[in-house]
Amino acid sequence: MEVICLGEAMLRQASGGLGSITTPGGSELNTAVSLAMLGRKVSWISALGDDPAAKRIRRDALSAGVDLSHVKTLPHPTGKYRITEDSKSPIYQRKNSAFAHLTPQHFPELMRPIFDGVRWLHLSGITPLLGEKPKSLWATAMGWAELDGFLISLDINHRPALGEWEELWAIIEPKLRQIHALHLSTTDLEKMYENDLIETPADQIENAVSEIRRKFGLTWVTCSHKTDENGIRSRWSTMSSVFQQSQSVSTIHSPSSSSLIDPLGGGDAWVGAWLDGMLQGFDEEKVLRRADKYAAMVQSVIGDFSTITDNALEDGLAEATLRTLTIMSQSHTSQNCSTSNTTHKPQNSLSGVIAILRKHEPVKAVDLAIQLVAEGCKAIEVTLDSDKPFETIAAIRSTLPPRILIGVGTISQPETQIPMAQKCGATFALAPNNPKDMVNIAKQHNMLAIPGVANISQTEQAINQGAKAVKLFHWKKDWATKQTGIEDMKHQFSEVLFIPVGGILMTEIDSLHSEGYSTVGIGSQLKIE
């Protein structure tokens, strides 16, 4: 284990233009998920109830790769919060939650150093304002970390709904001697610096961060700044370090920007990427740039939890999606997703299959998607001839574990359909043919374009346009028996992913994999009820 995160988690229920969406969240768990998605070994310490909300949180955290061996089950409900288009702030249900009853006495196993290789303990300022029991656990955890030689990271993350700034600062200030890295928002920084920094953020923020680090004898102080304009969120950050010769390091002159789809979870993702960069030993400017970029990417998809892997951070979402589709047939391990009504058990694993959901209303499509993932599927396509397809994509994205790929199919108008699908959480787009500018438009929106091709010449044309994956459609009618030269084409364009789609039977999956087709698309032949 490299990092331990301690804090609550809740189930978020949101309603709006994309329908009702339910996703797990919680500051410290969001950070833990980000770390796990980036390849770090991370454990989460918390408590959940024995209820559906807890099961959902556990499932998605496990799917991301977070260790949950120190999450307690207590006879109290899991916290929830609701966001509606009309509400000015979230409505919380957390007063009597399982986490509110968590104490140090629940963790006798942590009284001794059992975490080999742990480098960091990450906490936030939310926990001590949730009650005396969580406050005691929060303080005790710092003592454990200090005794065991962990570095301590604290995201102040002041939430006015939980208490006044003065109350939180009275708790945090005596603990600063134990803290190594202090993470601030510009609002937190203003409270500590007692100055208005918003209007002229650049020099003032850099100076304030350095001054605070020196004043309190901290090793690192960071401040992440964000601005929103016309649906685009730009991020830049500042860090002062005891190891720096200069006052501070800042990315103000090269901010990271992306479409703002979900305003929640960006700061938590930023901290996760910062910790990842520190663990990898990157120089300070690179640490900040990666964290800025990661936070921006996380907020370009639905949900508090990050779905952005280390490959996506380094290469982009489209390249990471292509890589996942290329290798997913190599693993036949089912995801940790259960269903109580699975009626179809195919003989062949679905790990190398894009499961095509067509003409299903959202609730039914979500149920089918859960079944498919339980049977090993790692990629799901929702076609645009479905009932409320974009709402369906958003609902599936918010329901399935973070590592499952979601795509949109039957693209005919890329200029309008691809941006909307991206907003809902899709990372790849398929078409029965090759609509004009599909590849370029998908690239602009960080999505993988998979145009449909019916012969060799169409395939070459799509590849020359920049396509890195093509849909061999219709496989049974146009490719399986009629085409010549397909093996030469696969050899010539070895970097391109060729995906057979159309009329493929479940019994043919393994033979297609053995022929070098790592991914196939199957719709009606799935026969899931």
- If DSSP states are collapsed to H, E and C, what string results for 258-290? EECCCCCCHHHHHHHHHHHHHHCCCCHHHHHHH
pLDDT-derived band at 114, boundaries 50, 70, 90: low
Q: Are residues 300 and 336 in the same domain?
A: no
Residue 386 has pLDDT above 90, yes or no: no
pLDDT tens, position by position, 132-191: 999 999 999 999 898 888 899 999 999 998 999 999 999 999 999 999 999 999 889 888
Residue 114 corresponds to which tokens in the numbers above?
């059992």
What 245-249 contacts at long range (C-beta under 8 Å, 24+ apart), as own/partner pairs, is: 247/206, 247/207, 247/210, 248/206, 248/207, 248/209, 248/210, 249/284, 249/285, 249/288
pLDDT-derived band at 86, boundaries 50, 70, 90: low
Q: Are residues 368 and 287 in the same domain?
A: no
Kindly state the percentage of the chain with pLDDT values over 70: 91
Q: Are residues 334 and 285 in the same domain?
A: no
Q: Which residue, among 124, 134, 127, 131, has the nearest Cα to 183 in the 3D structure?
A: 124
Distance CA 124, CA 172 (A): 10
Cα–Cα distances in angstroms (integers) from residue 145 to residues 86, 132, 136, 152, in the given order: 43, 20, 14, 7
Cα–Cα distances in angstroms (integers) from residue 414 to residues 35, 202, 321, in the given order: 34, 39, 18
At residue 16, φ and ψ (nearest 5 deg) are: 175, -145
Q: Are residues 310 and 325 in the same domain?
A: no
pLDDT of residue 17: 67
pLDDT tens, position by position, 4-19: 999 999 999 887 766 7
Distance CA 369, CA 356 (A): 10
Residue where a domain stops, chosen among 315, 340, 361: 315
Q: Are residues 92 and 176 in the same domain?
A: yes
Give the predicted TM-score (pTM) of the model: 0.85
Residue 333 has pLDDT above 60, yes or no: no
Alpha helices (runs of H) in 328-437, residue ranges in sequence order = 362-374, 389-399, 414-424
User: Do β-strands 10-16 and 79-83 pair in parallel, antiparallel, or remain unpaired?
Assistant: parallel
State the CATH number of the domain containing residue 437. 3.20.20.70
Q: Are residues 367 and 307 in the same domain?
A: no
State the CATH number of the domain containing residue 310. 3.40.1190.20
The CA-based diameter of the chain, rounded to the nearest angstrom, is 76
pLDDT tens, position by position, 450-507: 999 999 999 999 999 999 999 999 999 999 877 668 888 899 999 999 999 999 999 9
Q: Are residues 87 and 208 in the same domain?
A: yes
pLDDT of residue 341: 39
- Burial (CB count within 10 angstroms: exposed 0-12, middle 13-18, buried 19+), residue 252: middle
Q: Which residue, among 55, 80, 58, 53, has the nearest Cα to 69 in the 3D structure?
A: 58
Q: Are residues 392 and 466 in the same domain?
A: yes
Instruction: Tell me which DSSP letter residue 478 carries.
Output: I
Q: Are residues 254 and 110 in the same domain?
A: yes
Looking at the structure of the chain, the number of domains it has is: 2
Residue 43 has pLDDT above 70, yes or no: yes
Residue where a domain stops, chosen among 315, 338, 354: 315
Q: Are residues 10 and 150 in the same domain?
A: yes
Residue 214 corresponds to which tokens in the numbers above?
């020196």
Residue 340 has pLDDT above 50, yes or no: no
Residue type, 268: D
Q: Are residues 189 and 330 in the same domain?
A: no
User: Do β-strands 91-93 and 220-229 pair in parallel, antiparallel, or remain unpaired?
Assistant: unpaired
Average pLDDT, stretch 367-384? 94
Chain centroid, CA 114 distance in Å: 29
Q: Which residue has the higher pLDDT, 248 or 286?
A: 286
pLDDT of residue 335: 38
pLDDT of residue 117: 78
The alpha carbons of the chain give a radius of gyration, in whole angstroms, of 24
Give the range of the structural domain holding residue 72, as residue numbers without chain letter: 3-315
Residue where a domain stops, chosen among 276, 298, 315: 315
At residue 395, φ and ψ (nearest 5 deg) are: -65, -40
Query: What is the side-by-side strand order in the sheet with 19-25?
Result: 19-25, 10-16, 79-83, 91-93
Q: Which residue, among 156, 198, 205, has the nearest Cα to 181 in the 3D structure?
A: 156
Could you give the 3-state DSSP secondary structure of residue 20? Answer: strand
Average pLDDT for the chain: 89
Q: Are residues 284 and 352 in the same domain?
A: no
